[in-house]
Amino acid sequence: MSEQEIFDKITALLADKFEVDKATIKKETSFTKDLDADSIDLVEFVLELEEEFGAEIPDEDAEKILTVGDAVTYISNHTK
């Protein structure tokens, strides 16, 4: 899966979850600063990522995913 495909899937997921316009989500979008995500939102998002991409994301890696770009890179590096 290309990075663009991953990005598209993640933005669709976030647009639905945070009820925001897909077009406003960029790679630099921060979950906490721009989407006002709290700790529950973040865990839910990590679980959704695992389900969507069939990946296992350990807690210590999840803590480093702060922006949309971080999520895209992580998924790209950890899925076939």
Measured CA to CA, the distance from residue 15 to residue 46 in angstroms comes to: 15
Q: 21 phi and psi, to 5 degrees?
A: -70, 130
Binding mask 46-65 vs another protein (x if CB under 8 A, - otherwise)?
Answer: -x-----------x------
Exactly one of 1, 12, 43, 66 binds another protein (CB under 8 A); that residue is 43
Is 52:46 a contact under the CB 8 Å cutoff? Answer: no
Pick the stretch among 7-15, 23-31, 41-49, 65-73 that binds another protein (CB under 8 A).
41-49
Q: Is 38 a catalytic residue?
A: yes
